[in-house]
Structure 1
Amino acid sequence: MSLHNHHGPRKVRSREDLVGPLFGAAAFQMLNAGCELGLFALLSDKGELAAEEVGDALGLDPRPAEILLLGVTALGLTEVTGGRYRNCAVIQGMFEDGSWEVLADIVAFQAKLVYLPLADLVESLRENTNAGLARFAGTGEDLYHRLPETPELERLFYRCMRSWSLLSNPVLVARADLTGVRRVLDVGGGDGVNAIELARANPGVEFTVLDLPGAVDIARRKIADNGLSDRIDVRVGDIFNDPYPEGHDAVLFANQLVIWSPEQNRDLLRKAHAALPEGGRVMVFNVMSGDTGDGPLYSALDNAYFATLTAPRSMIYSWSHYERWMRETGFDEVRRLPGETWTPHGVISGIKRAPAAS
C-alpha cells in the first residue's frame, strides 16, 4: 500500500474520536516529556523495564513515573506486557537506524519555539497575521528577523531547521532533477544542509547558498566540515531586496515559499526567472497540501505554526498554487514530483521559456 494512502482526512465516526483533538496538547506534552526526561532513550538502551525501574533510572517518584508511562503507552509510543515497558517498534527502529536525534530535535522545536505561540491561533486567524510572534523579543515582522535578539533561540532554531531538513531531504535528493545543471542557487538556503545533500548526490554540480548573515555563518562552517567548500559557495543577501548572484542555471527554493504570501512568492519566482538563462530551471521544495482541501493531516496541523508564528502571510500551499504562480511568472513545463514518505513533501519544477516571437 502506498504511503500516500495515509495522507487523507481523519474520520470522526464517534464521540470517542474527539479525544485526540480535545487532548492534543496533552498528547504532545507526553511525547515531549518522554524525550526530555530520557524515557525513550532509556528503554532503547535497556530493552524492557518495570515502572519502578523506570522511575529509579529517570529520578522520578512513583506517581509521576506512572503518569508518564500511562500517557506514552496509551498513545502507542511505548508498549507494556506483564508490567514491563518497551518502546514501540517505530520509535525503537528510529534509534536503530540513527534517525531518533532528528525526531528529538523536531520535538524540541515544537516545545521551545512553537508550543506557546500556538495558543494565539484564534487571534492569528481573526486578525489574519502571525499574532504568536509577539512572544519573541524584537520588532521584525517575521520570526527570522526577531531570532537574533535571542541568540540561544536562534541557535536552537537553526539546529532544528537542520533536523527538519534531514527528515525531508531524501525526498529533495530523489526528486530534484539536476540533469544538465551546472550551478544551483539555493535561495534562503539556511545552514547549507540542502546544498550539502544535493552536492553529495550530484558530484558534477556546484551550489551557492544565499541567506541572512546568521545562517550563512553557520553554512560556511558546515560546508567546510563536509569538505565541500570547493563546490558550495555562500553569499549574504536579502532574498527579496538584493540582486541574485549571476551564473546559475537552476534556482532552488527549499522550505522557503511556505513562509511568504502569494504576492511575495510571485516576486521571488520573478527574481528567479530574471536571474536564469533561457532554459534555466526553478525548483520549489516544500511540504504540500492537497488540491481537494481535506489534507494531508500533517500539512493541516503544521499549518498552525505558519499561521501563528513565521511571517504575517505564511501558510502551507497546495500543489496547484505553485503551478499557477510558476506559469504566471514565465515558467512552463511545470512538473509535480511528490515524495513517497510519511511526510507530504515534494518538488515542483518549471523551465524558463524563451520570449514569444515578435
Structure 2
Amino acid sequence: MNFYSKDTKTALEAKDLAQWIAFGPVVFQVARTMRDTGMLAAVEASGTTGLTQAEIMDQTGLSRYGVRVLLESGLGIGLVVVNADKYTLTKTGYFILHDALTRVNMDFVQDVCYHGLSDLEASIRNGKAEGLKVFGQWPTIYEGLSQLPPHVQKSWFAFDHFFSDNAFPAVLRHVYKDGVKRLLDIGGNTGKWAIASSRHSPDVHVTIMDLPGQLNVAEQRISELGLTDRVSFFPSNLLDPSQPFPTGFDVIWMSQFLDCFSEEEIVSILKRCYNALSEEGYVLILEAFWDLQRFETAAFCLQQTSIYFTALANGNSQMYHSQVFIDCVRAAGFEVVEQTDHIGLSHTLLKCKKVV
C-alpha cells in the first residue's frame, strides 16, 4: 500500500477538492435527505425516462422549492443528471441508495457522529471525547452504549457488525484450526463471536469478558439461542488495571476491540493477557489497519473512522497503522508469530505468543 507518497493532483484538481471539503457537511446532508425523502428512489424507478420536478413533487410530497434546491445541489454532487427537464439517477446516486457499505457508513455518521463532530477541535486539545456530551455525561461512549437513543444504537451496532459479520465466517477456520477448546472473548459485546464459535465448533466453550451493560445484552441473546451451556460471562471494567483477567484459557480473542483504546491502554490490556496465559497459550487479535488495505477508499474509510473515536468514543484511540499497533504488542511482551491480511472487507488477524 503506497497511496500517500505523492501529491498527484493538478492545482485545479486540488482547488476543486478543497471546495468539496469546504462544503462537505452540505454534500452529506443533501445526499442523505434525497435518500431518506424518497427522491432518489423515485428518480431511479423512472428508469431512463426520468422525472420532472413536478413529478418528483407528486411522488415525494415535498414542496416545489424543496425539490428544486435538492435537485440542483444533487446535480453538483453527481447524484442525478438532467436532460430536457427530466432527472435520471447516476451511478453515484445508485450507490447512495443500494450499497450496503455506503448506507451503514452514512447512517453511522448521521446518527452517531454528526453533532458531536463539532467538538473535534476541543477533543484534540483536551484529549477527551468532548462531542459525547450530545448523548450523555459518560467518560466514554461504551459506558453509555446501552442508554443511547434506539436509532443511535441501531446505527452504531449496524456499523460495528457490518465489518465483523463479513470477517467472522472467513476467520473462524483460522482460529479453531488447532483444536482450541477454551477461549476468552475480551470485548465480546453482543455475543456475535461466541455464537459463531458455538455453531462452528461443537467442542469450544467461550467466556465473554466485557462491561456489565454489554454482557446483559449478550446474555439475553445467548439464552434465547439455547447456548448457555457453551458460553459463560465475566463482567469487568477493562480500563481498571488492578482487575486481573481470568485464567485457564487456550486462547484470548479480541476482535475490533483494541482500537477502542489508547496505546498505553492497549499495552496494559495485553500485559494482563500475558499474565493470564500459560506458556502454550496465545492471543488472537482481529483488527483493521488502514495501511494494510488493498484499496485507497478502504484506507480512507478507516482513517475517517478514527475521528469518531477522537470526538465521541473516548478521545484517545483510533483505527491504527499496523506498526504503531504491533509496537504495543511487543511492549506487552508478545511477538507476532502469524499475520494474515485481507480477511473479509478489511481485517488482519495477528497471532501473538509470549516472548520467552
- 1:326 matched residue in structure 2: 329
Is residue 174 from structure 1 mapped to residue 170 from structure 2 by the alignment?
Answer: yes
Is residue 195 from structure 1 mapped to residue 194 from structure 2 by the alignment?
Answer: yes
CA distance in 1, matches of 2:160, 2:55: 36
Q: CA deviation at 1:330?
A: 2.3
Q: Report 1 or 2 for greater relative contact order, CA contacts < 8 Å, sequence distance ≥ 6.
A: 1
- 1:24 matched residue in structure 2: 24
- 2:263 and 2:325 in contact (8 A); partners too: no
Counterpart mapping for 1:119-158 below 5 A: 119-138=118-137, 140-147=138-145, 151-153=147-149, 155-158=150-153
- 1:207 and 1:231 in contact (8 A); partners too: yes
- 2:311 matched residue in structure 1: 308
Cα distance 1:165–1:144, how it changes in 2: closer, same or farther (>3 A)?
closer
Is residue 58 from structure 1 mapped to residue 27 from structure 2 by the alignment?
Answer: no
Structure with the greater alpha carbon radius of gyration:
2
- 1:273 matched residue in structure 2: 274
CA distance in 1, matches of 2:343, 2:211: 32
- 1:106 and 1:163 in contact (8 A); partners too: no
Match of 1:25, as an amino acid? P
Cα distance 1:81–1:274, how it changes in 2: closer, same or farther (>3 A)?
farther
Provide Cα deviations, 1:58-81, integer angstroms capped at 9, x if missing partner: 221122123333444543445666
CA distance in 1, matches of 2:115, 2:96: 30
- 1:317 matched residue in structure 2: 320
Cα distance 1:236–1:27, how it changes in 2: closer, same or farther (>3 A)?
same
Q: Secondary structure at the match of 2:260?
A: coil
Q: Secondary structure at the match of 1:258?
A: helix
- 1:264 matched residue in structure 2: 265
Cα distance 1:103–1:228, how it changes in 2: closer, same or farther (>3 A)?
farther
Counterpart mapping for 1:1-358 below 5 A: 11-13=8-10, 14=12, 15-40=15-40, 50=51, 51-72=53-74, 74-77=76-79, 83-86=86-89, 88=91, 91=94, 95=98, 100=100, 103-138=102-137, 140-147=138-145, 151-153=147-149, 155-169=150-164, 170-175=166-171, 177-178=174-175, 179-180=177-178, 181-202=180-201, 204-226=203-225, 228-241=227-240, 242-290=243-291, 296-339=299-342, 344-353=346-355, 356=356
CA distance in 2, matches of 1:206, 1:352: 23
TM score, norm. by length of structure 2:
0.80
CA distance in 1, matches of 2:82, 2:280: 58
- 2:41 and 2:97 in contact (8 A); partners too: no
Provide Cα deviations, 1:185-209, integer angstroms capped at 9, x if missing partner: 2212211233334544555533222
Provide Cα deviations, 1:226-285, integer angstroms capped at 9, x if missing partner: 554443333322223344344322222222222211111001111222222323221222
Provide Cα deviations, 1:59-105, integer angstroms capped at 9, x if missing partner: 2112212333344454344566662434637846984xxx74x7545
Name whichever of 71-80 and 280-289 sits farther off: 71-80
Cα distance 1:40–1:256, how it changes in 2: closer, same or farther (>3 A)?
farther
Cα distance 1:145–1:74, how it changes in 2: closer, same or farther (>3 A)?
same
Identify unmatched segments of 5+ residues in structure 1: none
Percentage of pairs with the same residue: 23
- The two structures, once aligned, show a CA RMSD in angstroms of 3.5
- 2:40 and 2:93 in contact (8 A); partners too: no
Cα distance 1:226–1:74, how it changes in 2: closer, same or farther (>3 A)?
farther
CA distance in 1, matches of 2:92, 2:199: 31
TM score, norm. by length of structure 1:
0.79
Q: Secondary structure at the match of 1:283?
A: strand
CA distance in 2, matches of 1:285, 1:172: 10
- 2:254 and 2:285 in contact (8 A); partners too: yes
